Amino acid sequence: MTAPFFKFGYFSEDIGLVLAIVIGIGFGFFLEQAGFGSGRKLAAQFYFTDMTVLKVMFTAIVTAMLGVFWLGVAGVLDLSLVYVSPTYLWPQIAGGLVLGAGFVIGGYCPGTSCVAVSTGKADALVYLGGILAGIFVFGELFPAIEEFYISSAYGTLTLPEVFHLPYGVVVFAVVVMAIGAFAAAEWGERKMAQKKENKT
């Protein structure tokens, strides 16, 4: 059997939806366990007092990347069937900035706000309402911004293609980068904690 299972038709769309719920609950559970159900903790990332978000994200990236790479090499996973979002450079930069601003202001990203709602956080409920309102406004405005929305399309890009490097080299570089970021984050956290102590 070769993955991705759905693309090879091992199960139907209905089963796929059931599996999506199971995987989604698992995803939410681990986000909550990482402390991502708290807006304070998430916002602290942007003040560099708590680098948990960065550490959890890099851990997830490295784990998933190594898993996908080695399963691909082993022939268990057909990477050509794994979906890669196409790049629309400028619209995605703009979208990233909007999302980032919302993240700092509200203390959540869309996924973590759902996690926080599930544990009964009132601020997250307001945030979720904001998301829905934003989706509605976006939908209504769409004809006006459609041209920008589909501009600077580069198709599906991957780092090995962009840098003309072998996949393995990029994998190693990302691992090194992640561990470097981890070390820097812990060092930064200690510095910030010291500063706080000196103040009090």
Among 5, 7, 95, 161, which residue sits at the site for other proteins (rule: CB under 8 A)?
A: 7
Binding mask 115-154 toward other proteins (x if CB under 8 A, else -) reads -----------------------------------x--x-
Contact 49, 192 (CB under 8 A): yes
Among 73, 99, 104, 141, which residue sits at the site for other proteins (rule: CB under 8 A)?
A: 73
**Binding of other proteins by 168 (CB under 8 A):** yes
Choose among 77, 86, 69: nearest CA to 6: 77
Contact 125, 117 (CB under 8 A): yes
Number of residues that bind other proteins (CB under 8 A): 33
Q: End-to-end CA distance of the chain, in Å?
A: 60
Contact 181, 58 (CB under 8 A): yes
What is the spatial distance between Cα 153 and Cα 15, in angstroms, rounded to a whole number?
Answer: 33
Q: How far is the CB of 75 from other proteins (least distance, A)?
A: 7
Residue number with CB closer to other proteins (57 or 167) = 167
CA distances from 93 to 90, 97, 98, 139 (A): 5, 6, 9, 19
Residue number with CB closer to other proteins (82 or 196) = 82
Binding site for other proteins (CB under 8 A): 2, 7-9, 62, 66, 68-70, 72-73, 75, 78-81, 83, 85-86, 150, 153, 166-169, 171-172, 174-176, 178-179, 182
